[in-house]
Amino acid sequence: MSDEVTLLIYENFPKLDLDTRFFEEARYLSSNFAIVLAAGKSTRMGTCKTSLPWHEGKTLLTYQLEQWLSVGFTPVVVLGSHNSNKQKDLLDGSLAVINFHTNFGKTTSLLTGLQYIPPNFELLAISAVDQPRKLEIYQRLLLAHQDNSAVITAPTYQGKIGHPLLFSNGMRSHLQNIREESLGLRQIIKEFYPVIHQVKFDNPAVLLDINTPEVYQEHLHNLG
């Protein structure tokens, strides 16, 4: 992607005023939100990840939504135009938006989701549909973030930062300025690394990314 095209995309990225009608779809709103990135085309997987069976009759998407709702977060799912029909799979209390710029990278999905997060949120989590986590992981991260009044909270395993990442309200402006060419969230992690509150886990579950059929089958078997 040329610098000229990149500049055009970001300069013309829709700047939306928060439309409260959008939130009428949800049963309730909390002060905590989770952006669930699900707009990828799943090239390596070969099929849309949102519909993959995961646990007790749930799909990867519905499993993730259930976990976030259980800890009091309002999930905002970012879909692409190719899988916008997955809106029908959303659980009550969750919301969906469509990113029409998916060809320009994952960063555009995060920016799309941010436009629908109220400016007065307390806590924002960022995860992806291919990063399923058990409820206790979310609970532990939330408590750690609150107890330490953290700016950013991240799970780690053997020194490696995993997901989801939790951000306080003061990080919103930094998130809004991420760009694909500057590595998106990786740049924020690099810049703010000294102040990230790292929560150490003793298993690699916080590093899991389901990108291929082999990884999916391995972890689905372990789950069973």
Q: What is the pLDDT of residue 29?
A: 60
Q: Coil, helix or strand for 40?
A: coil
Q: Which two tokens stand for residue 8?
A: 């055009």
CB atoms near residue 54 (< 10 Å): 19
Segments of the chain scoring below 70 in pLDDT: 1-29, 224
Chain centroid, CA 206 distance in Å: 14
CA separation, residue 143 to residues 45, 121, 138, 199 (Å): 34, 17, 9, 10
Question: From start to end of the chain, where are the E strands?
Answer: 32-38, 53-55, 58-59, 74-80, 95-99, 123-128, 152-157, 160-161, 165-168, 196-200
Q: Which two tokens stand for residue 218?
A: 């391995």
Binning the chain into helix, strand and coil, the percentages to the nearest 5 are 45, 20, 35
Q: What is the pLDDT of residue 47?
A: 84
Strand partners, 128: 37
Q: What is the pLDDT of residue 209?
A: 94
Asked whether the beta carbons of 153 and 161 are under 8 A apart, the reply is no
Q: Which two tokens stand for residue 201?
A: 């886990």
Number of H helices, E strands in the chain: 7, 10
Q: What is the pLDDT of residue 104?
A: 84
Q: What is the pLDDT of residue 45?
A: 84
Q: Nearest CA to 203 among 162, 169, 165, 166?
A: 162
**Residue 131: DSSP 8-state:** -
Strand partners, 124: 33, 167
